[in-house]
Amino acid sequence: MNSAVPKVTHIVVDMLYDFIDGSLACTNGEEAVEKAIEYINKHPEQEVLYVCDSHPVNHCSFIENGGIWPPHCITGTKGGSIHKSFYEKIIEESSRPNGSNTFRKGCDPKAEQYSGFDSINEKGEHLKNRIIDTVVLSGIATEFCVNETVGELTQVGARIAVNVEALAYVTKEGHDKTLAKFSSSGIELIN
N residues, the chain: 191
Task: Give yes or no for residue 6 having a pLDDT over 50.
Answer: yes
Q: What is the pLDDT of residue 191?
A: 85
Whole-angstrom distance, CA of residue 74 vs CA of residue 124:
20
Q: What is the pLDDT of residues 36-94, one digit of tens each?
A: 999 999 999 999 999 999 999 999 999 999 999 999 999 999 999 999 999 999 999 99
CA angle 136, 131, 124 (to 5 degrees): 125
Q: Burial of 164 by CB count in 10 Å (0-12 exposed, 13-18 middle, 19+ buried)?
A: middle
What is the rounded radius of gyration, in angstroms, for the C-alpha atoms of the chain?
A: 15
Task: Give yes or no for residue 174 having a pLDDT over 50.
Answer: yes
Whole-angstrom distance, CA of residue 44 vs CA of residue 107:
30
Residues 53/35, Cβ–Cβ less than 8 Å: no
Residues 34/167, Cβ–Cβ less than 8 Å: no
Does residue 174 sit in helix, strand or coil?
helix
Task: Give yes or no for residue 2 having a pLDDT over 50.
Answer: no
Q: What is the pLDDT of residue 107?
A: 96
Backbone angles phi, psi at 47, to 5 degrees: -75, 135
- 74 contact partners, CB below 8 Å, separation of at least 6: 55, 56, 57, 59, 80
- Print the SS3 string covering 56-77: CCCCCCEHHHCCCECCCCECCC
